[in-house]
Amino acid sequence: AQSVTQPDIHITVSEGASLELRCNYSYGATPYLFWYVQSPGQGLQLLLKYFSGDTLVQGIKGFEAEFKRSQSSFNLRKPSVHWSDAAEYFCAVGASPNSGNTPLVFGKGTRLSVIA
Amino acid sequence: KAGVTQTPRYLIKTRGQQVTLSCSPISGHRSVSWYQQTPGQGLQFLFEYFSETQRNKGNFPGRFSGRQFSNSRSEMNVSTLELGDSALYLCASSPGQVANEQFFGPGTRLTVL
């Protein structure tokens, strides 16, 4: 069964500083990987996804993530954080189509605070 | 295209009552998944429907049930509500056969008193 670990429960960064949110997954086959963002009281918005190919994927709002199979990681990065990036971030892993249809598994989330 | 819509957005119920939540997926999406989100447990998968059939079910008691209609709209029902059922219930739709790349609605905030 898949699992996702987001080691950091809460991160605080200064506006304009760089950001890296960590995500480690466990999955026996080729995973599909996602990052979602959730603002308070809202649903989840897809930031980016990795299915195959280039291991560095670009997403919306200036975010990118790098898939590292050897480390079972899919860390999210942003070079310069804006105050509006303050939110909860979720990493998720899903099965590739060839592996059958199993539900997405989400990490517990990392709450990002941005200070001036 | 309109996004995933969920109604109602907020609900207050008392213990022992039952509740029905509704979800309309993005037009053309045939897969609908439901999640319960609480501060302690995070996002927990409830069930997923595809073409009116339940394809996957999470580890929740039988008080939690759902269904999907021929137009892909979905409802979930919780009977005999408990205080611990207070949560944000999120619905997500997916375009393909495999329920990846899910698009989420804003959620229904259920409070059980």
- The pLDDT assigned to A2 comes to 82
- The pLDDT assigned to B65 comes to 97
Question: Residue A24 in 3-state DSSP?
Answer: strand
- The pLDDT assigned to A40 comes to 86
Residue with tokens 């990795």: A50
User: Closest partner residue to A44 among B45, B99, B104, by Cβ?
Assistant: B104
Q: Please give the biggest Cα pair distance in chain B.
A: 39
Both structure tokens of B84: 């611990």
HSE-CB of B4 using CA atoms within 13 angstroms: 31
Between B38-47, B72-81, B92-101, the lowest mean confidence (pLDDT) is in B92-101
**Buried residues in A62-83 as b, exposed as e (16+ CB within 10 A):** ebbbbbeeeeebbbbebeebee
| Nearest Cα residue in chain A from B57 | A103
Res. A100: pLDDT tops 80: no
Q: Residue B78 in contact with residue B62, Cβ under 8 Å?
A: no
Res. A99: pLDDT tops 60: no
Q: How much is the average pLDDT of A88-95?
A: 92
Res. B55: pLDDT tops 70: yes
Q: Distance (Å, rounded) from C-alpha B61 to C-alpha B55?
A: 17
Give percent above pLDDT 90 in chain B. 80
Q: Distance (Å, rounded) from C-alpha A108 to C-alpha A3?
A: 10
User: Closest partner residue to B100 among A32, A43, A108, by Cβ?
Assistant: A32
pLDDT in tens, A50-71: 988 889 999 999 999 999 999 9
User: Closest partner residue to B90 among A34, A44, A46, by Cβ?
Assistant: A44
- The pLDDT assigned to B99 comes to 53
**Alpha carbon of A42: minimum distance to chain B alpha carbons (Å):** 5
Q: Which chain B residues contact residue A41 at CB under 8 A?
A: 106, 109
Mark yes or no for CB contact A101/B99 under 8 Å: yes
| Nearest Cα residue in chain B from A88 | B42
Give percent above pLDDT 90 in chain A. 74
**Alpha carbon of A101: minimum distance to chain B alpha carbons (Å):** 5
- B2 confidence band (pLDDT: 50, 70, 90): confident
Going by the DSSP 8-state scheme, the letter that residue B84 receives in this structure is G
Q: How much is the average pLDDT of B39-47?
A: 91
Mark yes or no for CB contact A94/B98 under 8 Å: yes
